[in-house]
Amino acid sequence: MAEIGHGGKEIQERIMQPAEAKEKIKGLTQIPVRKQIANEIINLAYGWFCPLEGFMGKDDVDGVVKNMRLADGTIWPIPILFDLSQDEVEKFGVKPGQSVVLEYQDNPMALFEVTEVFEYDKAAICQAVLGTTEDKHPGCARTYSYKDKFVAGKITLLKEPKINEPFGPYFLPPLKMRAVIKEKGWNRTVAHQTRNVPHTGHEWLMKGAFFQTYGDLPIEKPEVGVVVNAIIGEKRVKDYIDEAIILCQDELEKSGYFGPHNHLSSLTFWDMRYAGPKEAVFHAILRANLGITHHMYGRDHAGVGDYYGAYEAHHLLDTVGEELDITPVYSMNWLYCPVCAEITSEGLCNHKDQQQKFSGTLIRSIVTDGVKPPRLIIRPEVFDQIMACAEKYGEGSPFVTEEYLEKRTPVFNIEPL
């Protein structure tokens, strides 16, 4: 049976057989690409970006900027762009009708069938997608850093990437993820977007969303799975290291706070644009393509600073909900209440003066001190896993350092054909 993705299009992997790949790239110019582009090539080839089959042309970008839609009317909130400088366009002889090979880590990665070379006003992109043109917004900074020419065309991966440990088991592209969900027998699934190591506040966000998603389904057998989908992309100093994020999320399942019958950890390669509401819609598309039926959204989803209102993403999702193959599940914050003596929801407990809220900075400060918090705050197995990851992958720190960025094993490698 065909697997239908966003926009009603069938998800088909765009990956060549090795013999075909060698033949197809003979004599073609090779263009090296950076990590962001390599991530997006993977997304295009496996169907995370369905219905896109390649980097966008001007009509699509124009539609996204003006109406949050592709040229054919499909909802799409963030342009997927391949940039080159004018010098590079000339040097590599990039022109419509001429295929080139995209190269990553010095190896051929993808065939790029160029259809168009164009320019687009970057400030207009920023204003439309991010709601601001200020270069201190990290999404604007990224957009302004693009070179001046954009190149459109279909992408086909020449060979599957080698996903390095410990990430291998969590790389579940759309067709694979859909097969796993079927195997588990889940009727509904709910996506948890994360770039965090989980404390119990996060654990309860997932548990709350599990119940919201369960709704009217029968309870004789497990019908709902929480799918943690960690965003693995550009790291900044003091973020949690990728290895700790994915292994600690999985630890909640391994240690029995969830189980394989209701929980699954996975990852998506993507450099956050911090586009708030627009990124919320984008995340919905990614997860719909993964075959997930529901998506958790808390306050200020994918926001940064005070650019977006706490519920702006929810409002935007509500306007386009009909066209997304995924149902938003809105989450209230969870906190610790010493009177209730438990983790509870801000929507439930009324001991307003005594509630102890989770704060990312507070938790980081505890983790930095290496002081194991009560199990009601961070599960002891998760805390031990954080410390183990720090030793094994983080040069002693669970947070990104310059040393980690320099020495870490890449998440994936492109190997010779």
Partner 1 sequence: MAGKNPIYLWVNEERYEQLEKAGLAHHTEERLAGLKVLIVYADDDQAKTFVQKFGAKHDTSTTGSIELLPKDVKHRLFEKVVEKQSIDVVGDVLASYS
Q: Binding residues for Zn ion, per CB under 5 A?
A: 337, 339-340, 349, 351
Contact between 370 and partner 1 (CB under 8 A)?
yes
- Residue (of 30, 42, 59, 31) closest to 271 by Cα position: 42
Judged by beta carbon distances under 5 to 8 A according to partner kind, the member of partner 1, Zn ion, none in contact with residue 356 is partner 1
Judged by beta carbon distances under 5 to 8 A according to partner kind, the member of partner 1, Zn ion, none in contact with residue 349 is Zn ion
Instruction: Give the 3-state secondary structure percentages of the chain, helix then strand then coil, rounded to 5.
Output: 35, 20, 45
Contact between 86 and partner 1 (CB under 8 A)?
no
What residues numbered 341-360 form the site for partner 1, per CB under 8 A? 356, 358
Cβ–Cβ under 8 Å, residues 217 and 188: yes
Contact between 256 and partner 1 (CB under 8 A)?
no
Cis preceding-peptide flag for 260 (omega within 30 of 0): no
Pick the closer one to Zn ion by CB: 162 or 351: 351
What residues numbered 91-110 form the site for partner 1, per CB under 8 A? none
Contact pick of 34, 165, 183, 361 for partner 1 (by CB under 8 A): 361
For every residue of 230-288, DSSP letters joined together read EEE----TTSBPHHHHHHHHHHHHHTTSS-TTTEEEEEEE------THHHHHHHHHHHH
CA atoms within 13 Å, Cβ hemisphere of 344:
17
The CA distance from 357 to 380, in Å, is: 19
Q: Which residue is nearest to Zn ion (CB)?
A: 337
Q: Which residue bears the tokens 């970057």?
A: 122
DSSP 174: H
Contact pick of 14, 142, 372, 408 for partner 1 (by CB under 8 A): 372
- At residue 136, φ and ψ (nearest 5 deg) are -80, -15
Contact pick of 38, 252, 280, 377 for partner 1 (by CB under 8 A): 377
Instruction: Give me the least distance between CB of 353 and Zn ion, in Å please.
Output: 10
Contact between 388 and partner 1 (CB under 8 A)?
no
Judged by beta carbon distances under 5 to 8 A according to partner kind, the member of partner 1, Zn ion, none in contact with residue 351 is Zn ion
Pick the closer one to partner 1 by CB: 104 or 336: 336
Pick the closer one to partner 1 by CB: 1 or 371: 371
Instruction: Give me the least distance between CB of 370 and partner 1, in Å please.
Output: 7
Number of residues that bind partner 1 (CB under 8 A): 22
Contact between 405 and partner 1 (CB under 8 A)?
no
Cβ–Cβ under 8 Å, residues 279 and 302: yes
Cβ–Cβ under 8 Å, residues 81 and 146: yes
Contact stretch for partner 1 (CB under 8 A) within 117-125, 264-272, 279-287, 367-375: 367-375
Contact between 179 and partner 1 (CB under 8 A)?
no
* Non-local CB neighbours of 185 within 8 Å, separated by 6+ positions: 221, 222, 223
Contact between 406 and partner 1 (CB under 8 A)?
no
Contact pick of 1, 2, 219, 371 for partner 1 (by CB under 8 A): 371
Long-range contacts of 69-76 (CB under 8 A, 24+ apart): 70/7, 72/7, 74/6, 74/7, 74/323, 75/6, 75/7, 75/281, 75/285, 75/320, 75/323, 75/324, 76/52, 76/285
Instruction: Give me the least distance between CB of 337 and Zn ion, in Å please.
Output: 3
Contact pick of 85, 368, 409, 413 for partner 1 (by CB under 8 A): 368
Pick the closer one to partner 1 by CB: 311 or 358: 358
Contact pick of 321, 376, 380, 405 for partner 1 (by CB under 8 A): 376
The CA distance from 59 to 81, in Å, is: 12
Burial class (CB in 10 A: 0-12, 13-18, 19+), 176: middle
Judged by beta carbon distances under 5 to 8 A according to partner kind, the member of partner 1, Zn ion, none in contact with residue 339 is Zn ion
What residues numbered 307-346 form the site for partner 1, per CB under 8 A? 336, 338
Contact stretch for partner 1 (CB under 8 A) within 17-25, 136-144, 161-169, 371-379: 371-379
Cβ–Cβ under 8 Å, residues 250 and 388: no
- Residue (of 335, 398, 12, 110) closest to 205 by Cα position: 335
Pick the closer one to Zn ion by CB: 86 or 350: 350
Task: Please report, as ranges, the residues that interact with partner 1 according to CB under 8 A.
Answer: 237-238, 336, 338, 356, 358, 361-362, 364-366, 368-374, 376-377, 396-397
